[in-house]
Structure 1
Amino acid sequence: MRIHHLNCGSMRSVEPTREGLPSIPAVNHCLLAETDHGLVLVETGLGLGNVRDPAGTLDPSWVAQVEPALEEEETAIRQIERMGFDATDVRHVVLTHLDVDHCGGLPDFLGAAVHVLAGELEAALREAPSLRYRPAHWTHGPRWRAHESTNDRWFGFDAVRPADLPEIRLVPLGGHSAGHAGVAVHDGDRWLLHCGDAYYYHRELDEDPEPHPLFDVIQTRSAVDHDRRVGTQAALRALARDHSAEVTLFSAHDPWEFGRLTG
């Protein structure tokens, strides 16, 4: 399986907390996996509809806070087309959650099955329209695959194994949203774990955690369960410490993590 790391929507620039790293725009880190059963897109980032009609698809206060670049060439569909594929080649989209910057590109992949935890889908349909959930991203009627929790285990975490995606696990990582999950992708002899918004900055996984002042404000304000979010980060910190040879962790918006994995 070949895996591509994509930035599907640059946002406002962020400063590092220590010298030696540049100030660069935050990213919307997505994965594209070429599998035997078609392309699997993990997260969509922002889509064509967001670029062309931000006022109609995004909350104005979110746009003001996040300062998205809204460049068409950064959308997942345009990057996939540059690789020689088209939208119909994307058979599955797997989402950590349904915040706008994680699912804004859903209308660009009308034929894909969309995998998400059931609790997240229920919250999004119930609470939209809101700052985080925008109905424009699913008015086309996605082929939802809403997954309930199971008794499967993955490195000590609960996990859901979609029947038609043997290389994928949905790993509940609670706290940020009602049904937030990580997405684990098996890549040869190791796993990649897309942690979504379970953490925002790579130094949060250090043994002596160092939050980012800007990212920390964002994640604290947006969490639905602060204590659960803190517990999730502690569990991810232990995973990174004890299984670094088997699992590579990364979050959705850290540009330095993205640079390390693409460089």
Structure 2
Amino acid sequence: MDRDLTAVPAVCHCLLIETDSGGLVLVDTGLGTADLQHPDRSLGADWVAWAQPVRDPEESALRQVVRLGYAPQDVRHIVLTHLHRDHTGGLPDFPHARVHVHPDEYRAVTDPTAAHHRHSLDRFMPAHRAHNPLLVPAPVEEHTEWFGFSGVARPQGPACELLLVPLPGHSAGHAGVAVRDGDGRWLLHAGDAYMYHGELEHTPPLPHPVFEPVQQGAQTDAAARVTTRDRLRALRRDHRDEVTVFSAHDPWEFARLAAPADSDCRWSSSEP
């Protein structure tokens, strides 16, 4: 039974997309090198004591990009599912990159009148934005749907078929990142819309006893999160030949997908 997290630790599943003409696109950043060198200062002592992150700089997105033979400057775009600390820690490692988020998440952080502004800003760690990253709200395409999901935004710049798909509930503007390869198949990084594959693969949904309290503690809208999870269950059921769905922290999904694939728009998974 794979529900025992004492054997397999949780991951921060990032996606590196290699394009033919536009450099690299990084989806989420996991924990950065500064987080691992000075975790209490960068991530917050309470969070570090609770999460107990592995302090290995070689697992950072930066070091993994370099091991693949690229320079950090080759990462021209970063696309984030949301702005929580375990997804934004690597931003200072790529200070030149344009950082794309769904406009609902952008608004929650930048607009003091937004309903979730304070909550969202508290989760977007000061150390991760001290370099003043170029945070860009992706334009919403009003008449575009993705497998029935509306409110889809398209980041401007990445030389790849890539979309931000609203998956509300976990954060104010939480979104999945959908990327299509040269064969027309989609990969959906669902962020924290769910945290354990049993939530999608089992009927009824099977939450993980460790992940579920974490999800409940972080969510901004419980009803919206459950609705999002159920929509992802239907997507996986009805379109599994067209879309592969994975989440940010499930180590078993990461193990399935860690091998790189060859296509016009190539991707590989990493675990900062």
Runs (4+) of structure 1 exceeding 4 A deviation are none
2:141 corresponds to 1:180: no
8 Å Cα contact 2:139-2:154 kept in structure 1 = no
- Counterparts in 2 of 1:30-45, with a 5 A limit? 30-35=14-19, 36-45=21-30
8 Å Cα contact 1:167-1:186 kept in structure 2 = yes
8 Å Cα contact 2:62-2:93 kept in structure 1 = yes
Greater displacement, 182-191 / 250-259: 182-191
CA distance 1:231–1:91, change in 2 (3 Å): same
- Counterparts in 2 of 1:66-77, with a 5 A limit? 66-77=51-62
CA RMSD, 1 decimal? 1.8
Match of 1:197 in 2: 192
Structure 1 or 2: more strand by fraction: 1
8 Å Cα contact 2:88-2:124 kept in structure 1 = no
Give the paired residue count: 246
TM-score of the two chains, using structure 2 as the length reference: 0.86
Q: What letter is aligned with 1:170? A: L
Tell me how far 1:75 sits from its aligned partner: 0.5
For structure 1, the 5+ residue unaligned runs are 1-14
Match of 1:171 in 2: 165
Counterpart selection for 1:138 from 129, 139, 156: 129
Q: What letter is aligned with 2:146? A: W
In structure 1, distance between residues paired with 2:41 and 2:156: 36
In structure 2, distance between residues paired with 1:57 and 1:123: 22
In structure 2, distance between residues paired with 1:135 and 1:144: 14
Q: Which has the higher contact order (CA 8 A, sep 6+)?
A: 2
Q: What letter is aligned with 2:156? A: A
Equivalent residue of 1:24, what SS?
A: coil
Tell me how far 1:23 sits from its aligned partner: 2.2
2:53 corresponds to 1:62: no
Tell me how far 1:256 sits from its aligned partner: 0.2
For structure 2, the 5+ residue unaligned runs are 111-116, 260-272
TM-score of the two chains, using structure 1 as the length reference: 0.89
Equivalent residue of 1:220, what SS?
A: helix
8 Å Cα contact 2:176-2:189 kept in structure 1 = yes
In structure 2, distance between residues paired with 1:22 and 1:71: 19
2:214 corresponds to 1:222: no
2:236 corresponds to 1:240: yes
